[in-house]
Structure 1
């Protein structure tokens, strides 16, 4: 007898109903099981990246060096470290210039397969627009095997994302087992509204299995409320797969018991 087809997007939509969205908050999330390649997306709106674009900037820089057959300079490595680990904005601006700003980011993203991301105007890299689905594609470039980035480039970005400074270790890490995560967060108070953009992307490990998770949000009245929303959404996203495993296990145990 054929197994029933599971609509993972529907399962994620159901899981997201338990995430408390209040006031002007909006949230979109995407999740992928690295082992099976199965994924789910909830929400398709475009969001400001804030500092999560720093992963994209570094990926674009590494791609440029790969294509030129060169390596990162010592200065670029220093910028990359502080940009990812400490979310240093001056370092991000320097590397944004190095890749050719929005034009360079957009060109790299075309190679990576991102179709819903548009680089910010001028020096405003934090106002790059993206979707949760696109961020999942970017994460696959960093953490997946089928990538335009070399193994060395992927390992480099992964290492930096696994050493985020202590006060920034929130977001998708809430869905992980202990220290089994690598991430980059973004947060930006919008002067036009007084509301916060709060985002988180990365890889988390749960029961020895790896998942890629992207959560984007805006309209948060405070950064803290945005963080709470993002963490709840990350847990809901991972539950799409972990809850299914639990249900399958329970079903198998019940069947086994009945057979005896």
Structure 2
């Protein structure tokens, strides 16, 4: 059902779209599309997770500067803040090291200072969301709480994307116009409450002719993913012999 819905969205928009969605309460899960996408500002959640893992290893809390810079990076999507924390975690090698711990296996850090050119898959970003929101995680409860809090305080003009699928949300979006094609990469991920349940939801896209069209595509895909997963049967319990 999800594949049919998204094929229609792709045909209508001309964009390439990947989705991953999980209903943690039931274990229902669906992934559509395994191709890598440019993260743009979606990488900022990954950068913050890497920073928090680094602080955990050093047995310390974030400094006041790190905390305020992280807030600016997530809430307002400030690029200078992201660059500063990218340097703090050790750039691409630091992100790659953190992702081994977080369970991201198909994410390639951006070259040099270009954190926004990190490439990832919907499945990997679902793994990151699970590390951010689930109790069983390499991130401590305090680290998860910080990320969750900041993702719930996104600036009002950036509260689009997966929020279209539900009434309560914590999210981060990414958007970037590629200089070579002038087409847009538009991404959104987070946790959303809808129809009395909770969903972890990732929508990655590239190839939209404008940002507004890309946002519309992502929002249609988010609503379709939640609708499709609600209609799916629950996973079969394991067979115990």
Fold conserved between structures, TM > 0.5: yes
2:238 corresponds in structure 1 to none
Match of 2:171 among 152, 169, 183: 183
Give 1:146 deviation, angstroms. Answer: 1.5
Aligned length: 233
Match of 2:105 among 91, 109, 115: 115
1:166 corresponds in structure 2 to 156
Give 1:17 deviation, angstroms. Answer: 3.4
Measure, in 1, the Cα distance between the counterparts of 2:120 and 2:78.
Answer: 21
| TM-score (structure 1 length as normaliser) | 0.87
Give 1:22 deviation, angstroms. Answer: 4.2
Give 1:36 deviation, angstroms. Answer: 2.0
Matched residue of 1:19: which SS?
helix
2:3 aligned with 1:13: yes
Matched residue of 1:39: which SS?
strand
Match of 1:150 among 127, 133, 140: 140
Structure 2, unmatched stretches of 5+, are 234-241
2:228 corresponds in structure 1 to 240
Checking the alignment, whether the CA contact within 8 Å between 1:106 and 1:119 is kept in structure 2 is yes
Measure, in 1, the Cα distance between the counterparts of 2:17 and 2:98.
Answer: 26
2:200 aligned with 1:203: no
Match of 1:103 among 93, 102, 105: 93
Measure, in 2, the Cα distance between the counterparts of 1:227 and 1:21.
Answer: 16
Structure 1, unmatched stretches of 5+, are 1-10, 246-260
Give 1:15 deviation, angstroms. Answer: 2.9
1:41-120 aligned within 5 A: 41-120=31-110
Q: Deviations over 1:82-124 (max 9, x none)?
A: 1000000000000000000000000000111111001000000
Measure, in 1, the Cα distance between the counterparts of 2:10 and 2:177.
Answer: 20
Measure, in 2, the Cα distance between the counterparts of 1:216 and 1:144.
Answer: 21
| TM-score (structure 2 length as normaliser) | 0.94
2:237 corresponds in structure 1 to none
Checking the alignment, whether the CA contact within 8 Å between 2:28 and 2:232 is kept in structure 1 is no
Give 1:135 deviation, angstroms. Answer: 0.3
Greater CA drift, 233-242 or 95-104? 233-242
Checking the alignment, whether the CA contact within 8 Å between 1:170 and 1:227 is kept in structure 2 is yes
Matched residue of 1:97: which SS?
helix
